[in-house]
Structure 1
């Protein structure tokens, strides 16, 4: 039976409630603009605001090596009652010390690393050989490049596909400014045989091409619109139009929404989804379809037929 693997253990998909399907409570990299997300009080404040507006679950797409702060995520879930889904995986090469990546290379080591984080518990810090927590990841996070897939991307995605086939874990994909989604789908779904229903294609709001959106949707993948947009890629005027167009084409059950907070003050955060965007979708699509986007779709997209029970900390 499928379950959603949270940091406190496996839960029935129907228990998630309203979900922010792509966000970050903690995130750190010298390659990212702005200050890092590394303040537990600030994270708890955002999560509490989301909860106060009816939020029930949040997926943190922060992968290994980028300041996940596993213990603090567990504490935030317990304090607020919000179900939190954590990620294993790797981001783009620029975010890592070359020595860390070297230590993860060789044979199927990276795939085994992902599987262990999904089934045994995540590494507590940013050292791949460091102590392992008892807190499981519930998804895999990978990343494409701007209009291309480089060797690092293909290596990581190949390992992610192997880990998916071993565990059933969903795979969330960062698409740089929304690009390369067709190439990612061809690699993960076409070449590596990951079912499209296990792929969460992120940042599509940043590349509002309706033809590309329809092509991705026709393959059966989940389409994640997560932001809102930053000043340097202002695509918000197309966000709701893109969702309405996809719903009209019969793809309501594949749409996902997330806040994708990447630094303090970088955006309105998870509460924005429920305070501003949900009422707009209710007006445009109706109460039922909006509820599908916020509740039913995440519960399916984030679930998997896990081979072993989750391990609470």
Structure 2
């Protein structure tokens, strides 16, 4: 089963595996995603392009709007998977962190059981894991063991994927197929990608049409190469819209109108339909 904001389902259909309908952070001043109607319009466009599910990775304390997501899902017909979890420390005030960090295990579990969160989102650092990351990932592992929901990971500029798997899987006993590694397209190292895939994790390539992240021209061939190497069942794609400027142009529908046609049709069906259902199940 997959936990959506309207209840548990057994299929997701065509899925945007990493995006944000709502997001606000002090490190992104003036770029907040806070209004309901623009989110509604974005979901409508995604639906009109054939999309059926959006997985929102916005964690606690970043204006994830759990209150608004069920109505948006009902109004648009798009299923929404919501997140609990915690981002890097820079996204929060020291006072908020001091109050929240000691209670993470409890808060994560409560979001899953009481507020229909379907994943736990945490974050690594640039080429490594600081004490904040270790603390939040430990809490995420504990909450995973209590609930079964998957853990998704923001990899800073796509780095430290193997460090994350060493901590979550080798030290904290999270099954690797319950871990989704995000932003791998931002650090397009084939060796790292294959090592992470061989370990059993899901690999998410998200944020197409960000020219500075070498996404559009590398992602199709990267996905094809990983599929040829035997890892087709572990690949995911997402839009990762994080600022108001990215709404509508290119928007969530870009995944379906521009990226999907560049993939082999059978591989595209696996990446957009079959894999998300397994990646986000519990």
Q: TM-score when scaled to structure 1? A: 0.87
1:150-188 per-residue CA deviation (whole Å, 9 max, x = no partner) reads: 000000000000000001010110001100111001110
| Separation of aligned partners in 1, 2:29 and 2:98 | 25
Task: Structure 1: state its 5+ residue gaps.
Answer: 122-135, 305-313
Deviation at residue 32 of structure 1 after TM alignment? 2.3
| Separation of aligned partners in 2, 1:47 and 1:27 | 15
Could you tell me whether the CA contact under 8 Å between 1:261 and 1:269 is conserved in 2? Answer: yes
- Aligned equivalent of 1:111, options 105, 114, 118: 105
1:176 is aligned to 2:176: no
User: SS at 1:236's partner residue?
Assistant: coil
Question: How do 1:269-308 residues align onto structure 2 when only pairs under 5 Å count?
Answer: 269-281=251-263, 285=264, 287-304=265-282
1:58-90 per-residue CA deviation (whole Å, 9 max, x = no partner) reads: 100000000011222111101001110000000
Question: How do 1:215-254 residues align onto structure 2 when only pairs under 5 Å count?
Answer: 215-228=195-208, 230-254=210-234
Residue of structure 2 equivalent to 1:6: 4
- Aligned equivalent of 1:148, options 96, 109, 128: 128
1:240-273 per-residue CA deviation (whole Å, 9 max, x = no partner) reads: 1110110110110000000000012236121001
Question: How do 1:1-313 residues align onto structure 2 when only pairs under 5 Å count?
Answer: 3-12=1-10, 14=11, 16-32=12-28, 35-106=31-102, 109-121=103-115, 136-228=116-208, 230-266=210-246, 268-281=250-263, 285=264, 287-304=265-282
| Separation of aligned partners in 2, 1:221 and 1:103 | 32
Q: TM-score when scaled to structure 2? A: 0.96
Could you tell me whether the CA contact under 8 Å between 1:198 and 1:301 is conserved in 2? Answer: yes
Residue of structure 2 equivalent to 1:131: none
Deviation at residue 24 of structure 1 after TM alignment? 0.3
| Separation of aligned partners in 2, 1:189 and 1:73 | 31
1:97-151 per-residue CA deviation (whole Å, 9 max, x = no partner) reads: 1111111233xx2111100110012xxxxxxxxxxxxxx1110000011111100
1:13-67 per-residue CA deviation (whole Å, 9 max, x = no partner) reads: x2x1100000000000011265111121111111100101111101000000000
Q: How many residues align?
A: 280
| Separation of aligned partners in 2, 1:274 and 1:25 | 17
| Separation of aligned partners in 2, 1:151 and 1:229 | 33
Could you tell me whether the CA contact under 8 Å between 2:185 and 2:214 is conserved in 1? Answer: no
| Separation of aligned partners in 1, 2:198 and 2:214 | 26
User: SS at 2:80's partner residue?
Assistant: strand
Could you tell me whether the CA contact under 8 Å between 1:205 and 1:236 is conserved in 2? Answer: no
| Separation of aligned partners in 2, 1:184 and 1:215 | 12
| Separation of aligned partners in 1, 2:174 and 2:187 | 23
Deviation at residue 231 of structure 1 after TM alignment? 4.7
| Separation of aligned partners in 2, 1:17 and 1:178 | 27
Task: Structure 2: state its 5+ residue gaps.
Answer: none
